[in-house]
Amino acid sequence: MKKHGILNSEVADVLAHMGHTDRICIGDCGLPIPEGTRRIDLALRFGLPSFMDVLCETGADMKIEKVILAEEIKEKSPALLKEIEEYLRGEGIDGEMIEFVPHEELKRLTRDCRAVIRTGETTPYANIILQSGCIF
């Protein structure tokens, strides 16, 4: 049994198989997941687990070189955006590594993700795509 890191076997599997520039998405409970994209459903009920809980645990287990967020988060969920930016700064990710795209584009980009992790989050636009960096 694992002592450290992510215990969820599906999330751990995806992260273990990711290479440089591969992507994984963490989404709220309403984000549509394209047919053919691996769905890892962690949602238990509204709000559980939270988007930030899943982001922090996933981010602690991978090297992130780029982040993609929906442009709409700036207006619709500024408090969550602030939390995300504070977390990312702590991980050494600055503003130049954060890209904002229209929400419709973010949904299209999930097709190319290794997986989409569905949380119980209900905050509007609580969706993020993490691009894997290189650890050496």
Q: Which residue carries 């190319």 as its tokens? A: 112
**C-alpha to C-alpha distance for 54 and 48, rounded to whole angstroms:** 10
Structure tokens belonging to residue 120: 């119980």
CB 113 within 8 A of CB 33: no
Q: Which of 16, 17, 20, 104 is catalytic?
A: 20
Please tell me whether 125 is known to bind a ligand: yes
Please report how the helices 78-90 and 51-60 are oriented relative to each other, as an axis angle in degrees rounded to 10. Answer: 20
Please tell me whether 127 is known to bind a ligand: yes
Please tell me whether 28 is known to bind a ligand: yes
Identify whether 20 is a catalytic site residue: yes
Please tell me whether 41 is known to bind a ligand: no
For residue 88, give the amino acid letter: L
Please tell me whether 8 is known to bind a ligand: no
Binding site residue list: 28, 103, 125-127
Catalytic residue IDs:
20
Binding site residue list for substrate: 28, 103, 125-127
